[in-house]
Amino acid sequence: MLGDLLRPEIEELIEARDFAALREALADLPPEDIADLFSDLPPEHVAVIFRILPRDKATHVFAHLPVESQESALKALGQEQVAAVLNDMAPDDRTALLEEMPGEASQRLINLLSPEERKVAVKLLGYPEESIGRRMTPDYVAMRSDWTISHVFSHLRQVGKEKESLNVIYVTDEKGHLIDDIRLRDIVVADLNKTVTDIMDGNYVFLRAHDDQEEAVRAFKKYDRSVLPVVDSDNILVGIVTVDDVLDVAEQEETEDVHKMAAVAVLDEPYIDATTLTMVRKRAPWLLLLFGGEMLTITAMHRFEATLEKSVILAAFIPLIISSGGNSGSQAASLVIRALALGELKLSDWWRVMKRELASGLMFGSILGVTAFMVAYGYGVYRGSQGEVHNSGPAILAFVVGTSLVGVVLFGTIVGSMLPILLKRLGLDPAVSSTPFVATLVDVTGLIIYFTMAIVILRNVLG
């Protein structure tokens, strides 16, 4: 990036206190690249750059910084400059910063806001965490249905510069209820003497302020919009949500799902910034839980010790059996979890999923079972050729391994596909059911299936 290339030059200018040259070097850089510069700069250098930048550009740069960098920058700036930046920030960006800070620090920043901006900040922070209301901004443009297009243009010239988005203009009644939205291009091409009613179609999409942020992600994907209005429980227009904010939500939700699928508590900070103690705290409880689950395999192994003593060769195929079941279950769980997250699957589709995975599990199990039969047969023949004694012939041994593999893979596939749906039905996050938990569950049941099949098939051989 351009900012990365200029970082050494910028640092030299700061060290030399050549502020005129520094101002000139930053003049043509977009806010995004200047924000990239801050990643490796000490807080005191960041403060220098903020003081040199024009106020509006400094605000844009600040908005593009990660929350952690924003907090560091605020500590390095003077109170007057902090107040200026916060008052000029877009309300949704400011809310994202305030909600991540400790309560006392957040309140101190709110007190620096002007009365008008403080009222907006408090209102947005009053919505539940993870709600759409926390992501919206009140910087929208509204018009009345009885206005002429000429009146609309006049209104846009008066208030447009202060608003975050002008792509869509919203139509409200006298009480503020949302009744339609109109794209700016439809207004531009309309006759100046027509009224807003003449170009309304009554077809609009909206979000509710108290709904979960994931609803916004789904709505933007479904309707392919760059901005959507937000209404309260009385259908009064209270703000808008733009696609850039929703992309942040989508990234956050996907990150959380990935962490949960790996049996890791969600990290509240970037991986590279997390301390070793934080990693231990986030990961150790899950590892202990999985460890406890895997201890059940010891119980299963102990239960079938007699079978193993009579045909020790069975132990050689235990890793093959349990890993195949875990792999098939993890595949199914990952596919179903993703389908649920994208809205491709509903809870009512569970029977369709069951039938599909039942057929798939049988096919996968048969493919792996035939392969395992050949491998086990060859291994049995080899062991026999080496003069090693085993109570079961190669063909019988191969049949045990092959048929067990069919059962284990089938079980893993069904459990992997049904467990996320069950957790979703119980109101839990299906992501926690993926790879580690499915694999642990199938490890235990896989051993039970394997040794049960061995006892049944080898009963006459083992005596």
Q: What is the pLDDT of residue 389?
A: 45
Q: What is the pLDDT of residue 49?
A: 77
pLDDT tens readout for residues 137-161: 888 888 998 999 999 899 888 887 7
pLDDT tens readout for residues 215-253: 888 888 888 888 899 998 888 998 888 888 788 777 777
Residue-level length of the chain: 463
| Residue whose entry in the numeric block shows the structure tokens 């029977």 | 351
Sign (positive or negative) of CA dihedral 238, 243, 244, 245:
positive
pLDDT tens readout for residues 415-462: 888 988 888 888 777 776 666 777 778 888 888 888 888 888 777 655
Interstrand relation of 237-242 and 227-231 (parallel, antiparallel or unpaired): antiparallel
Q: What is the pLDDT of residue 281?
A: 75
CA distance 21 to 341: 51
CA distance 143 to 404: 69
pLDDT tens readout for residues 361-388: 899 889 998 998 888 888 777 666 554 4
Taking CA 25 as the corner, what is the angle to CA 20 and CA 30, rounded to the nearest 5 degrees? 130
HSE of 356 in the Cβ direction (CA atoms, 13 Å)? 11
CB 423 within 8 A of CB 330: no
pTM of the model: 0.59
Q: What is the pLDDT of residue 334?
A: 81
Q: What is the pLDDT of residue 434?
A: 63
pLDDT grade for 311, boundaries at 50, 70 and 90: low
pLDDT grade for 29, boundaries at 50, 70 and 90: confident
